[in-house]
Structure 1
Amino acid sequence: MDDVATNRIVLRAKLRGARYDTVQAGTAAEALARIADSHPQLVLLDINLPDMDGIELCRRIKNNPATADIAIIVLTSASRSGLRIAALRAGASDFLNKPVDELVLLARMRSLLRARETDEELRQRETACHDLGFEEAAPANISPARIVLIPDRPETGITWRTTLKAHLPGNRIQMIDRDAVLAVAASEPPPDAYVISANLGATGDGLRLMSELRSRHPSRHAAICIAVEQGARDTSAVALDLGASDLLPLSLNSIEAAQEAAIRLQAQIERKRKQDRQRALVTDGLRLAATDPLTGLFNRRYAIPQLERIAENAEISGRSFAIMALDLDRFKSINDRWGHAAGDDVLVGVAERLGANLRGMDMIARMGGEEFLVAMPDTTLEEAQHAAQRLCRLIEETPFRLSNGGSIPVTVSIGLAMGGTGGAQPPVEVLIDAADQALLGSKAHGRNQVQLYNPIKHGHRRSGYLPRRSALVS
């Protein structure tokens, strides 16, 4: 947007050369109409418009929920004091003076568009979680932000810390030697933001440190702002292309530079924390989608695909794996006599004993009701039988304590089937059927025991497919 047609034409030609599609507007009213119609990813906005101040237009775009996600770069030839700060406070992502440096402009545009894509991806995942009924993650990050400063010289760092403490009160701001940064990045909790001099001892050392931080898991999602000298166009462009969250003035001796640094840094911290909440919601949503809410074990939705991966790995390695189908004996009588709360206590207790007495590599799932499934990769028949018999003893030996202070003796029946034993492998559903058939045999022969699936004994059908039982016998 520019009130001078020649400026719009020149800028449009530059952006077309960089393969950007553009829409032009000469007034604020026209710009708002074009934005509502095409919803661009980014707006280049001049301060001087014939019908509205550019700062006010920026504020209107950002205050409208339908357009608030659009990045804005303000371009101007005006030199009024405070104009830059006013634009940033109105929601602009950057403020560039005319004549605009094409190298810096295009690097800033690439950086903003990448950030917007990340925001949009997280927003879509957040929306999907809401659609599935998962609650929004609580704003856990209400504690002061932790900001780490890595200056080129100690005196620079002292100025930064003093200035930022005055403009960002209540936050934890510490200056750290560059040699200790990676150790601090792995601390708990990791820093929310870093401010790094572009040049630490040698030219570009700060950018190399930023790349190192971006490659480490604890600091990957932190806000990283690079402090550059005024006019360092090449360094600025490279920093943005390498993943800098934003650029800050290297010298904070003037009030305007200090205000700019604080506004930019605060905006990046807020964005980082919003993304943390979105990631937490997605992580929690995935966990809830894959786990049983009562016992915390995996559910059937997760267990089947995981079992398929175990079977695929067994086929590649040539090693066998075991599947156990476990069912609590006479569980219905527990609910009838003691109540469903007691039954829930027993289910939780069984899940805890299974988890405490199986290997970390073994998968445990609650398949529904009082039925559990255990998959043991890289396991021989002898090892699987020994583990199943041990589980029977562990369940039987100690009664389960109830939340009301009582206790209930419980036993479990187990059906065992082996996979990955050579030849054509049946689908995992068939192996689960086989374990279920063996479980029925355990029930029929007195309960509280382990039965191994035998295709002849349990009615093996042609092609290895077995009938799926409709219900367990209790």
Structure 2
Amino acid sequence: MPRKVLIVDDIATNRIVLNVKLSTAGYEVVQATNIAEGLIAARRDRPDLVLATARPDKISPQRFLEAFTSDRQLATLPVIMLMECNNFTSRLSLLKAGAADVMCQPAKVAPLLARFRSILRNHDSQEETLLAERMSQTLGFAEAPAGFTKPTRTAIITPNSTRSKAWLTGLASAPNNAAFACTEADILNERTALNPDVIVVELSAQTPEEGLCLLADLRAHPQSRHAGLIAVIDEPIEALYCNALDRGADEVLPHGFCAEELALRIAPLAARKSRNDHRRAHMHEGLRAAVTDPLTGLYNRRFAHPKLARLLADCACKGQSCAVMAIDVDHFKRVNDALGHTAGDAALVALAGVLKDNMRPDDLVARIGGEEFLVILPDTSHAHAQRAATRLCSIIGAHAFRLGTHIPAQHLTVSIGVAVQEPEAKAAASSDMAERLSSALLERADAALYRSKHHGRNRVTMSARSAA
């Protein structure tokens, strides 16, 4: 589906020229002659961005921007203003008023399209962030916004130390900004963990490829990919401007360093990074909560069962066996009835700790029911699984469980059923086959657990051997 651009200009010739240029580039164009028509068209046609003229003899461009930013439906819509001359004061004024960028008119195709690509790339990220935040709020994972806003960490990368000091001095008065000079190695080194919010890179017309490669590396590297990237060009070269945007820069200062403009560019990028950082944190927390038992901190059934299928498929490819233990606490209802559910919860938490402490790092321990646990042991033979289960049963039986300040230490026992999947030879297992093997393996472990319960509890029962 083509991207949609709303052109607002009262001169028909300008609209026609822009329409031809953008349509040729694959954009769908909507046209309006004034603010009123533009607002109607924006609400009706939902463009991806707006391109408008800022001629001084017509309505104030600040008023134009205010009309869009004050409209709740259109507040996040990027607006590029076109000026008939490069007036520095007017440029800053429009950026302060909320313009996504200010470009010269008549607009050249290559820089205009490069700027479109950059703005739409970032705007897509913002839409994804809003969607993720709504989902987090729906699921109950959202947190209240922090009352304290930390200073923006702005990294300056320029090969000239004198220029670096001058830039830092220029940014010293920028509000809530902590700027520092560094090198690419400083940022990409995991040990230094600089983690800047915004990175400002100087591009030299004499050695452009060096700076362009740096932009691409910073955009791709895990240490810096989420930071805002601003390129400062020492000469207004069209090709360098376009390449900087396409290599990953979010913003470009095409007329060299300007502290005031740079501060205006830094603020929204830092705000965007902060939103995205919070969104990722919420999503990670949401994913963790979705697969974790809230009481014990172990994995839950939702995670353990699909994980077993994946491990079985992996073991089949490697020609390895895989074992599972189905564990149930003996007479657990007596603990709840005699000591209370708080003590029962404490017993489950303590038992989870014993299980984790006595299994290998690659083994997976999960709570799959009230007092039911599952242990998955990849690359484990029948004999080793039996020894491990017998040892675990003895350790738990000998453990003194502290369930409360005024409750004497309690002793619990568990019944364990063990089943092992032993492939005859190395063979790839499809996902459907792995799921069937997983279900069958769990059924065999549950049946073995039932026999442990039936024959007196506090014991281990091995399921009959079964090959793939």
Q: Structure 2 length normalisation: TM-score?
A: 0.90
1:25 maps to a residue whose letter is: A
Match of 1:160 among 164, 167, 170: 167
Q: Match for residue 18 of structure 2?
A: 11
Q: Match for residue 4 of structure 2?
A: none
Q: Secondary structure at the match of 2:347?
A: helix
Q: Aligned pair 1:197/2:202, yes or no? A: yes
Q: Alignment length, in residue pairs?
A: 451
Distance 1:420 1:38 in 2: 61
1:107/1:240 contact within 8 Å kept: yes
Q: Match for residue 385 of structure 1?
A: 386
Q: Match for residue 468 of structure 1?
A: none
Map of 1:17-56 to 2, 5 A cutoff? 17-48=24-55, 52-56=59-63
Q: Match for residue 133 of structure 2?
A: 126
Residues 109-128 of structure 1, C-alpha deviations (whole Å, 9 max, x = no match): 01111112222223323322
Distance 1:188 1:342 in 2: 43
Match of 2:212 among 197, 207, 221: 207
Q: Per-residue deviation at 1:451?
A: 0.8
Q: Per-residue deviation at 1:62?
A: 2.4
Residues 273-302 of structure 1, C-alpha deviations (whole Å, 9 max, x = no match): 111111111111111111111111111111
Identity of aligned pairs, percent? 37
Q: Aligned pair 1:182/2:192, yes or no? A: no
Distance 1:50 1:292 in 2: 66
Tell me: CA distance 1:397–1:106, structure 2 relative to 1, closer, same or farther (3 Å): same
Q: Secondary structure at the match of 1:109?
A: helix
Q: Per-residue deviation at 1:200?
A: 9.8
Distance 1:445 1:328 in 2: 15
Tell me: CA distance 1:65–1:382, structure 2 relative to 1, closer, same or farther (3 Å): farther
Tell me: CA distance 1:206–1:380, structure 2 relative to 1, closer, same or farther (3 Å): same
Residues 39-62 of structure 1, C-alpha deviations (whole Å, 9 max, x = no match): 111111212499843322222322
Map of 1:324-363 to 2, 5 A cutoff? 324-363=325-364
Distance 2:406 2:256 in 1: 67
1:152/1:201 contact within 8 Å kept: no
Q: Match for residue 283 of structure 2?
A: 282
Q: Aligned pair 1:172/2:178, yes or no? A: yes
Distance 2:301 2:205 in 1: 54
2:187/2:223 contact within 8 Å kept: no
Tell me: CA distance 1:28–1:230, structure 2 relative to 1, closer, same or farther (3 Å): farther
Q: Match for residue 101 of structure 1?
A: 108
Q: Secondary structure at the match of 1:368?
A: coil
Q: Secondary structure at the match of 1:57?
A: helix
2:25 maps to a residue whose letter is: A
Distance 1:9 1:187 in 2: 53
Q: Aligned pair 1:440/2:450, yes or no? A: yes
Q: Match for residue 74 of structure 1?
A: 81
Residues 323-382 of structure 1, C-alpha deviations (whole Å, 9 max, x = no match): 111111111111111111111111111222222222222222111101111111111112
Q: Secondary structure at the match of 2:306?
A: helix
Q: Match for residue 441 of structure 2?
A: 431
Tell me: CA distance 1:92–1:377, structure 2 relative to 1, closer, same or farther (3 Å): same
Distance 1:189 1:395 in 2: 46
Map of 1:350-429 to 2, 5 A cutoff? 350-404=351-405, 406=407, 407-422=409-424, 426-429=436-439
Q: Secondary structure at the match of 2:208?
A: coil
2:74 maps to a residue whose letter is: T
Q: Match for residue 312 of structure 1?
A: 313
Q: Per-residue deviation at 1:10?
A: 0.2
Tell me: CA distance 1:391–1:214, structure 2 relative to 1, closer, same or farther (3 Å): farther
Q: Secondary structure at the match of 1:234?
A: helix
Greater displacement, 44-53 / 318-327: 44-53
Distance 2:359 2:256 in 1: 59
Q: Aligned pair 1:453/2:455, yes or no? A: no
Residues 34-82 of structure 1, C-alpha deviations (whole Å, 9 max, x = no match): 0011111111121249984332222232233322222111112155553
1:152/1:200 contact within 8 Å kept: no
Tell me: CA distance 1:186–1:47, structure 2 relative to 1, closer, same or farther (3 Å): farther
Q: Per-residue deviation at 1:262?
A: 0.1
Distance 1:177 1:308 in 2: 46
1:269 maps to a residue whose letter is: A
Distance 1:135 1:287 in 2: 14
1:239 maps to a residue whose letter is: A
1:27/1:51 contact within 8 Å kept: no
Distance 1:449 1:30 in 2: 80
Q: Per-residue deviation at 1:246?
A: 1.3
Aligned-residue CA RMSD (Å)? 2.4
Instruction: Mark the runs of 5 or more structure 2 residues left unpaired by the alignment.
Output: 1-7, 426-432
Residues 368-406 of structure 1, C-alpha deviations (whole Å, 9 max, x = no match): 101111111111112211221222222222212234354
Instruction: Mark the runs of 5 or more structure 1 residues left unpaired by the alignment.
Output: 465-474
Residues 159-185 of structure 1, C-alpha deviations (whole Å, 9 max, x = no match): 1111112123x43221114443422x6
Q: Match for residue 469 of structure 1?
A: none
1:137/1:281 contact within 8 Å kept: no
Q: Match for residue 266 of structure 2?
A: 265
Tell me: CA distance 1:250–1:204, structure 2 relative to 1, closer, same or farther (3 Å): farther
Q: Per-residue deviation at 1:100?
A: 1.5
Distance 2:147 2:279 in 1: 11
1:192/1:272 contact within 8 Å kept: yes
Q: Structure 1 length normalisation: TM-score?
A: 0.89
1:234 maps to a residue whose letter is: A
Tell me: CA distance 1:232–1:400, structure 2 relative to 1, closer, same or farther (3 Å): farther
